Structure 1
Amino acid sequence: MGAVIQVLAFVSISYVWFTWFVWKRRKQVEPMQGMVSGMTVGMMVGLIAGLLFGVLFKGDLSYSTMLSIAAGAFAGLIFGIPLSVLTMIEGTLSGMMAGMMGAMLGEMVPYEQVEPLLFLFVMLYTFCIMLLTRLVGKTAEGSGTSGKRIGFHHPLAGAMVLIGVFLWFQSFPAQSNSTAHETKQSVDLVASDFFYHPQQIVMKKGEEVKVTYHNQGKMEHVVEIMSNGNIEVIPNAAHHNHSHETKSTGELHLYAQPGESASYVIRARAEGVYSFYCMVPGHKEKGMVGSLIVK
């Protein structure tokens, strides 16, 4: 969540700055430059907001789409107000379409692919803002009314900003709830309507791992691990009151009431990849699937 707030803050501050930069030079901005700038701003804000809202409200595509459309359309509309009616229209429509696409991406892409995609969008957004800043600034300079030259006009300034954004993204801490790429002694498995996070869990053969199952959805979600008897729950006084079941076929069930959590200590007897899914009818088909990897 901290990374999301940082990205939103960066996009918001840079949007306000670029809008102010163009507004201040609106009399010297060529009509085509204004329309391209409005389309670019609306589109990139819509894409980034759509991706974030799609991930945050995964499982509720209609809600995330409405929020994303509103964000993109608002950004394009506000940017174009002092420039021209065409800029307002182009920016608004571009923001709406990009918001829809971004929300669908956020809904569809796995969690482990969200950060690289967000990084790509933010870098592209930054590059476009710096390029348009240079173009608008040079046009204003050519008219002789731009006033004091701004350092962002220099090509090296844009490169430095891009490098700064790149290093800023690399400073993000690894997401503790994303796909596990290394063995952990404890794992949080979150269920919502309708997805699991993470979608992969990695553990070692013979290692005891505490799995805390959080049912954050408004519905009942039961995890069924297709382990063929190779995954077992270790009896523990701290967890004996939680409901679990190992059927004769070897499937393991983990359960928690909606809005509650339950903890289990599990151990794998054999290496392999074991799928898990929600056994409530229809939930598996909506994307509530994952895999437990034993090395």
Structure 2
Amino acid sequence: MNTALVSTLALAALLQASILDAAEHEHGAGHGAGHATQNAEQKPWGIPGDAAEATRTVHIRMNDQMRFVPDRLEVKAGETVRLVLHNDGQLLHEFVLGDKAQLDEHAAMMLQQPNMAHTGMYMLHVQPGEEGEVTWTFDRTGTFDFGCLIAGHYQAGMVGKVAVTQ
């Protein structure tokens, strides 16, 4: 083989490995796994919070009618909120906090790969009859979104809004 071809193949393999590693990081082995070990990364909709510093707890129920109850939250900029997600249904549901563009894109990927698992401190799977928690500091003003990105749930209207005001 000529040297240029070997170099090109090596570069292609390196790039593919980097892409797969990045995909595994974002869509890892267990949805919600590793929350405690992840870095608190700033997102446009806020940053992971410490439950001990939460100023309030909000209970959100998820059901098989593809709804969150409540589906609208109002918080003050800088407020840390402990969100307790209750799955009242018989189906697996999830909570993913983000902005509409990010959720739309992720929901489309989930339709293509319904068994895709992912991790993040702003998302969590909740088994039927179970509950889980996300603690978030809403340090940016604006209107943000949350949804269940299980294939078909988001498209059926399982979404909500968070208004973060001064």
- Deviation digits for residues 120-174 of structure 1, max 9, x if unmatched? xxxxxxxxxxxxxxxxxxxxxxxxxxxxxxxxxxxxxxxxxxxxxxxxxxxxxxx
3-state DSSP class of the match of 2:78?
Answer: coil
**Aligned partner of 1:245 among 111, 120, 123:** 120
Moved over 4 A (4+): none
**What TM-score comes out, normalization by structure 2 length?**
0.51
Q: How does 1:138-217 map to 2 (within 5 A)?
A: 185-193=56-64, 194-217=66-89
2:123–2:134 contact (8 Å) kept in structure 1: no
Q: Is 1:277–1:290's contact at 8 Å kept on the other side of the alignment?
A: yes
2:145 and 2:160 in contact (8 A); partners too = yes
Equivalent residue number for residue 146 of structure 2: 276
Q: Which residue of the partner structure matches residue 91 of structure 2?
A: 219
Distance 1:223 1:269 in 2: 19
Between the aligned partners of 1:289 and 1:216, the Cα distance in structure 2 is 16
Aligned residues: 93
Looking at both structures, which has the greater relative contact order when contacts are Cα pairs under 8 Å and sequence separation is at least 6? 2
How far residue 268 of structure 1 moved from its aligned partner, in angstroms, is: 1.0
CA–CA distance in structure 2, aligned partners of residues 277 and 268 of structure 1: 17
> Equivalences for 1:11-22 in 2 at 5 Å?
none
| Aligned-pair CA distance for 1:220 | 0.9
Q: Is the 8 A contact 1:244 1:255 kept in 2?
A: no
Distance in structure 2 (CA, Å) of the matches to 1:219 and 1:188:
19
Paired with 2:69 and 2:89, the residues of 1 have a C-alpha distance of: 12
CA drift of 1:254 comes to 2.5
- Equivalent position SS for 2:97: strand
Question: Mind listing any 5+ residue stretches in structure 1 that lack a counterpart?
Answer: 1-183, 229-242, 247-251
| Alignment pair present for 1:266 and 2:136 | yes
Partner of 1:254: 124
**Structure 1 residues 204 and 254: CA distance shift in structure 2, 3 A:** farther
Shift of 1:264: 2.5
* Amino acid in the other structure paired with 1:283: H
Considering only aligned residues, what root-mean-square deviation do their CA atoms show, in Å?
2.1
Change (3 A) 1:244 1:210: farther
Aligned-residue identity in percent:
28
- Once residues 271 and 292 of structure 1 are traced to their aligned partners in structure 2, the CA distance between those partners, rounded to angstroms, is 10
1:291 positional shift: 0.5
